[in-house]
Amino acid sequence: MKKWNTFYLLLVVVLAIVILKTSCMEDRKQGEATLKSKAVLENISERKSVRKYLSKSVEEDKIDAMLKAGMAAPSGMDRRPWEFVIVTDRVALDSMAAKLPYAKMLTGAPLAIVVCGDTTLSSYWYLDCSAATQNILLAAEALGLGAVWTAAYPYEDRIDVVRQNTGLPENIVPLCVIPIGYPDGPQKAKDKFDSKRVHRNIY
């Protein structure tokens, strides 16, 4: 009888340990998930348009990380009509800066990513490429870089300028040019939330 009592006592202790350990693991997982969610939301709210950069090149692994983020964007019917041109050539950057009305900051940027769409793959390429662009901007923020969206599409004169400097074929249309670099000095994000623009069930 004593043996059975000892056995049951040990069984209860083991079960209690297992339950406690499982509970701790679940709490830790929930804590990690909360921290991850917080980090993602903070990165979104901290994203800002940065137009002044240090004279420091952007590392290849960070460029790859931004491109992977861009290609992780949603795409209608999974067409993925995007193409990306990495521009580091100083002559090309300065040429685009001189001719694109809102991309003068390219003169100080060590790098630009031109986000383009293949019009033969999707008629709504510009929507998919806009999602990819936002992902790149968020990735730049997360990597400690500064970036800004400068439009090419739908302006024919700007599209022509980008074509001249990147050799794009006719079916590949540049949506935007993203100057990227390390921010020159601290920059603060704007709080853009406006509750008056939120409507529930009916406008």
pLDDT surpassing 70 at residue 26: no
pLDDT surpassing 90 at residue 124: yes
pLDDT surpassing 70 at residue 112: yes
Q: Which residues contact 156 (CB under 8 A, 6 or more apart)?
A: none
For residue 36, name the pLDDT band (cuts at 50, 70, 90).
Answer: confident
pLDDT surpassing 60 at residue 4: no
Pick from 30-34, 78-82, 112-116, 123-127: least confident: 30-34
Over the chain, what is the mean pLDDT? 91
Which tens digits make up the pLDDT trace of 178-203? 999 999 998 899 999 999 999 999 99
Pick from 24-28, 43-47, 81-85: least confident: 24-28
Instruction: Determine the average pLDDT of the residues in 160-167.
Output: 98
Pick from 11-25, 58-72, 118-132, 151-165: least confident: 11-25
d(CA 77, CA 49): 31
pTM summary value? 0.83
Nearest Cα to 40, choosing from 144, 141, 183, 149? 141
CB-count burial class (<10 Å; 0-12, 13-18, 19+) for 30: exposed
- DSSP for 148-175, written as a single string: --EE-TT-HHHHHHHHHHHT--TTEEEE
For residue 10, name the pLDDT band (cuts at 50, 70, 90).
Answer: low
- pLDDT at residue number 38: 81
CATH architecture of 60-181: 3-Layer(aba) Sandwich (3.40)
pLDDT surpassing 90 at residue 77: yes
Top pLDDT among 196 and 18 is at: 196
d(CA 203, CA 201): 7
- pLDDT at residue number 64: 98
d(CA 59, CA 141): 15
- The DSSP output letter for 107 is G
Per domain, the residue ranges of the chain are 1-46, 60-181
